[in-house]
Amino acid sequence: MNALRAGAAVFDAGYYHAAHDVWEDAWLDAEGGDAALLQGLIQYAAAVHHARERNWEGCVGLSESARDYLADANPRGVNVPELRTYLAALATDPERVEREPPASIRVDGDRVGFEELSADEALAAAPALADELGDETVELGVEYAREDIAAGDETSVFVRFAIDFVTDPAHRAVIAQRLSEHADRRRRREEDVEGLF
């Protein structure tokens, strides 16, 4: 499940809303304990997001429901007991996010960093991270990467830049610029072709 580690890396980097989106895409196709795990993580990310926005009521409700989902989850190596403990504390004191960071999501005992993601995991994280960072041409570049992969081209410039956009945070701004430039050129070419007919 590529989304599990991808979402964990996005969450632990502080992009809570984006992590929610990564897991939501996978949750739509999940079943049973895997669906419960993803729904619990989705609601955990949403609870933290609401707390950081000072929506205390939303945080409390989501913290409680996230705990319930995680109780029925297939843990898949995730530190579920620790997350449930943190969610219980967050439900009673949502302002704690202003005093300390939320509990990290660990998979198989380790915190997942962007640089540790596989290519597939990075591509699972890329659309949500691009959306979170608010650059529409980066989002378009990620969309082109997905199209290229679907067409069997796993080495296109879009695929390479989309993966690097996620896995190389130190150079993300430069990578985003290059990805945007390529996406803009491809979009213009497509519009030119459409204009011929």
- Residues 165-197: tens digit of each pLDDT: 999 999 999 999 999 999 999 999 988 887 666
User: 176, exposed or middle or buried, with CB in 10 Å at 0-12, 13-18, 19+?
Assistant: buried
pLDDT at site 35: 95
- Confidence class of residue 137 from pLDDT cuts 50, 70 and 90? confident
Return all residues near 127 (Cβ < 8 A) that are at least 6 apart. 21, 25, 139, 142, 143, 146
- Confidence class of residue 142 from pLDDT cuts 50, 70 and 90? confident
pLDDT at site 167: 94
pLDDT at site 159: 95
- Supply φ then ψ for residue 107, to 5 degrees: -120, 125
pLDDT at site 7: 97
- Supply φ then ψ for residue 14, to 5 degrees: 95, 10
pLDDT > 70 fraction of the chain, expressed in percent and rounded: 98
The vertex-149 CA angle with 4 and 32, nearest 5°, equals 30
* CA distance linking residue 142 with residue 42, whole number of Å: 22
* CA distance linking residue 179 with residue 82, whole number of Å: 38
Question: What is the dihedral angle through the alpha carbons of 51, 54, 56, 61, rounded to the nearest 10 degrees?
Answer: -40
Helix orientation angle between 32-52 and 16-27, rounded to the nearest 10 degrees: 160
pLDDT at site 16: 95
Alpha helices by DSSP H, 105-156: 119-133, 136-150
Q: Can you tell me the mean pLDDT for 61-67?
A: 97
pLDDT at site 1: 75
pTM of structure: 0.88
Q: Can you tell me the mean pLDDT for 26-46?
A: 94
pLDDT at 139 over 90: no
Strands 106-107 and 110-111: antiparallel
pLDDT at site 134: 81
Q: Can you tell me the mean pLDDT for 115-127?
A: 91
Neighbours of 161 (CB within 10 A): 24
User: CA 18 → CA 50, 149, 155, 164, 185, distances in Å?
Assistant: 13, 22, 25, 17, 27
User: pLDDT averaged over the chain?
Assistant: 92
| Element at 88 (helix H, strand E) | helix 80-92
pLDDT at site 196: 67
